[in-house]
Amino acid sequence: MSRYSKVAITLHWLMALMIVGNLAGGFLNDYVPKEGGQRALVMGLHMSFGLSIIVLTLVRLGWRLANPPPPLPAYFTSGERVLARASHWSFYAAMLALPLTGWALTNRNDLPLMYFGLFEVPKFGLDTVTARGVGEIHETLGWVMLGLLALHIAAIIKHVVMDRDNLLPRMGVGRNSGPGA
């Protein structure tokens, strides 16, 4: 059965967890109480995990270029192939653009940007107005990422329900017995 490599599977699930956590931490930020430094803690984690995502995405892209993914199941139509490739590459683009715009928007104030409280990370040197503008792009990209995730999950459900093929084993979850096996 064709599967992604162990490294690709580990990176996929580790990063999915971090990205979903960061989407939640970002969008639900306003609901976290400011008292007792709770919001600052959530944002600190958001920024540190976000910066880690830049490094992990570069590692993952390098790994993917050196280790091509398993071929898509033969029954996929040409439309499905185009959609799968386009959405996967859009994910990679968002996995870089989101944290980079997040990093750039930190120039809206003079607070030091810390990595898990361990060391200070340099900022971009943008002026406050530009940094706020980049913040708008960061938010829009957050919605784009959420949309891609919805499409991604809908595609997996569509394959189970309509094609009787579970794609999850390709990403290391369970055993495959459908037409893609």
Q: Provide the binding-site residues for ligand HEM, judged by CB under 6 A.
A: 12, 16, 19-20, 22-23, 26-27, 29, 43, 46-47, 50-51, 53, 64, 69, 72, 88, 91-92, 98-99, 102-103, 105-106, 113, 135, 138-139, 142, 145, 149, 152-153, 156, 167-168, 170-171
State the minimum distance, in angstroms, from the CB of residue 171 to ligand HEM: 4
Q: Which is nearer to ligand HEM, 27 or 75 (CB)?
A: 27
User: In the block, which residue shows the tokens 């990403």?
Assistant: 171
Q: Which helix (H) or strand (E) holds 13?
A: helix 6-27
- Residue closest to ligand HEM (Cβ): 26
Q: Which is nearer to ligand HEM, 113 or 179 (CB)?
A: 113
Can you read off the two tokens belonging to residue 103? 């990093």
Q: Rg of the Cα trace of the chain?
A: 19
Q: Which is nearer to ligand HEM, 36 or 160 (CB)?
A: 160
Q: Which helix (H) or strand (E) holds 119?
A: strand 119-121
Residue 119 main-chain phi, psi, to 5 deg: -155, 160
Q: Which is nearer to ligand HEM, 36 or 102 (CB)?
A: 102
State the minimum distance, in angstroms, from the CB of residue 126 to ligand HEM: 13
Q: Looking at the chain, how many residues does it have?
A: 181
For residue 57, give every residue at least 6 positions away whose Cβ sits within 8 Å of its Cβ, in sequence order, or none: 15, 92, 95, 96, 99
